[in-house]
Structure 1
Amino acid sequence: MLTTTFYNGLEWIDVYKDNSVYRRNERNILSLDIINKYKLNDVVFFDIECTGFNKDIDKIFSISIGKFNDGVFEASVYFNAYDEEKLLREVYSSFNRDNICTFNGMALDIPFLNARFEKYNINKLSYTKHYDFYRMLCPYVKVLGSKGKSLKNFEMLIGISRKDNIDGKECRDKYFEYIKYNASKYIDEIVQHNLEDVLNLPKLFNIVSYISANNLKRDDSILNSQQQYVKRLLNIRKLNGNIVESSVVSQKDARKLIYELKRKNTDLDSINSIITDIKNREKLYK
């Protein structure tokens, strides 16, 4: 039987022993224009908390999931201190939308989740588009005036003030304290941290929209000299050189293209792969 209590405005639903779900709904956290522009009704926002960074040894103990439904953002935190498999099986059905959104998920959340899913013979995540705000916003730190590259740094840019005051490492420490002392106050801090991570993710689309509307260039944007040179090399190969005029093209992109285009035996597949990556990156902001 499900039992319901309330914690700091969160509905706390005990699903079964040692596996709890905390839920909170928020209205008007983002304009309908932005929700519709980026088709956020098709996006699952999520964040994981784990005991370390070794996906083969460490385990996940908390996962926050957020989704838009009729303009309301529904956030849930799934917590299980002892049984990772139950936690993962409980949360798996929540990944039921075409696209996903994370902060540094390409480097941590996705490979870690998939490794743990594989351990328990659960299918890996399947998705079409991934909005990874770490990769999308960090190239614009200077032009945006951010003090750093952390999630909290970008939240501060748009006036977000958190209730929780711990970081990812401290969250792990709280987990081990909970295991040691079995004190519910540590769960409270873990849940609040994991919840705010996912509650604030959609709001960062305000920054993405600002970058797009103002056609901001990356801090490491392609140099004019590189741009002209790459365009000339692409045109020689009868490829569209206009791609390097995009504001998302970096100096690294230019160096990779120059290397491939100047090779004696040009690999068109490699060139097209770089161009496709630029186009896909560009689509994320529009």
Structure 2
Amino acid sequence: MKLLKSIMDIRLDFNPLIPIDDICFFDIETTGLSRDYHNVYLIGLLFNNKTNNSWTLIQLFADYIEEEERILLEFVDRVKDFQKLVSYNGDSFDIPFVKKRLHKYGHNWENVESVDLYKYLRENKSLIDIPNLKLKTVEKYLGIERIDFLTGKECINLYKSYVNNNSDHLLKAILQHNYDDLQYMPHLLKLYNLLEDEKTVRIESADPNVILHIDNIAFIGNNLVITGKYEPSFSIPWMYYQPFYTINMNSENAFNLTVEIKKARLSDDILADIADIRLIANNNIKTDLSPYDTPKGILVLRTGNNIYIKNIKAIVENLFLTHYNNRQ
């Protein structure tokens, strides 16, 4: 087994909402997709050094398939002190794969809390304009341009050749593929920041200022249902039931807003969920912020899989302020 250590100079141009001090990014390389019949031959771990803000990459490499158990146990031992494991599609692939292979050797792994950036982006994909969630596509969306000289499948063939001849050239190529994937993974936290900001409504005209964070947006029948958390706490919970909407701010800092919506055809091939703000809001909402040309008083909330979060946030802010001063 080889244990290789590299120091990386990774500079982030943003302040991650997920603290980087106690997290470990990781990525595995396998000989195939089957947890039952294929093996883990390389595991990369990347973490921030609190003292000098550099990053350390540890790569655990199995010179032979028979060393799989050793690198798995070394991985488990090295990540046990981190609060979170961060990956890209780790909940569906990396973590179940590692657990299955460990179980084969008679070991169990109670992993730490997982942050799967792919899963998070998939759940919020309707809020960003991105064609797909392939790692290279997401990196390009963030302005990261890199040339990937090898695919994961090509690395499998290189590894099989390496096992037979222990070529340093092959080893370097395999390690570089894993190195590149992990080098850029911390930058993906920027999308987490951007999406969390997209789902946050800051009401600075309230006294004190109020922050509402949208956790879920659901289109249920003829209703738009928005749920989330708010701060600071209110001494008295409040709720309002109106003909075309309801708003509930409960004592546990959770809010629920339900708004009546309609279907409308914007063109022959575009069907939309819309809200008529003349029925639910005062005159503070002036303009539809979707890319469509709509009649005055109409907000487009969704077309297909695209959600127009700015219009939804405008409704949340408007209805909150409508009743905020009358909440006693």
Category of TM-score, reference length = shorter chain: 0.5 to 0.7
Q: 1:193 aligned to 145, 170, 177, which one? A: 177
Equivalence for 2:58 = 76
Q: Any idea what SS the aligned residue of 1:123 has?
A: coil
Counterpart Cα distance in 2 of 1:121 and 1:181: 31
Matches within 5 A, 1:44-55: 44-55=24-35
Shift of 1:203: 0.8
Q: How does 1:110-259 map to 2 (within 5 A)?
A: 110-128=95-113, 130-141=114-125, 143-215=127-199, 222-223=218-219, 225-228=222-225, 242-243=255-256
| 8 Å contact kept, 2:158–2:174 | yes
Runs of 5+ consecutive residues of structure 1 not aligned to the other structure: 1-18, 246-286
Shift of 1:132: 0.5
* Cα distance in structure 1, aligned partners of 2:72 and 2:186: 23
- Of structures 1 and 2, the one scoring higher in RCO (CA 8 A, sep 6+) is 1
Counterpart AA for 1:100? L
Shift of 1:227: 2.9
- Do the aligned residues in 2 keep the contact of 1:164 with 1:192 (CA within 8 Å)? no
Give, in whole Å, the separation in 1 of the partners of 2:190 and 2:107: 35
Letter in 1 for 2:132: G
Q: With the length of structure 2 as denominator, give the TM-score of the two structures.
A: 0.58
C-alpha contact (below 8 Å) 2:46/2:56 kept by paired residues: yes
CA distance in 2, matches of 1:180, 1:147: 41
CA pair 106-228 structure 1, distance change in 2 beyond 3 A: closer
* Unmatched segments (≥5 aa) in structure 2: 201-212, 228-240, 259-328
User: Which amino acid letter does the alignment assign opposite residue 63 of structure 1?
Assistant: I
Task: Specify which of 30, 39, 47 is matched with residue 67 of structure 1.
Answer: 47
Which residue of structure 2 aligns with residue 5 of structure 1?
A: none
Does the 8 Å CA contact 1:178/1:187 hold for their aligned counterparts?
yes
Residues 42-70 of structure 1 show CA distances to partners (whole Å, capped at 9, x for unaligned) of 11110101111221221100000011122
Name the CA distance, whole Å, in 2 between partners of 1:229 and 1:64.
39
Contact 1:164 1:189 in 2 (8 A): no
Task: Kindly indicate which of the two structures has a greater share of residues assigned to helix.
Answer: 1
Task: Return the alpha-carbon distance in structure 2 between the equivalents of residues 69 and 32 of structure 1.
Answer: 17
Give the aligned residue type for 2:44: S
The Cα of 1:116 is off from its aligned counterpart by 1.4
Q: Which residue of 2 aligns with 1:23?
A: 5
CA RMSD of aligned residues (A): 3.3
Deviation at 1:228, TM superposition (A): 4.7
Instruction: Please list the CA deviations of residues 198-245 of structure 1 after superposition, one character each: whole Å capped at 9, or x if unmatched.
Output: 222111011110111222899x95227343599999x9xxx9994577
SS of the residue aligned with 2:155?
helix
Secondary structure of 1:227's aligned partner: strand
| Higher strand fraction (1 or 2) | 2
- Aligned-pair CA distance for 1:142: 5.8
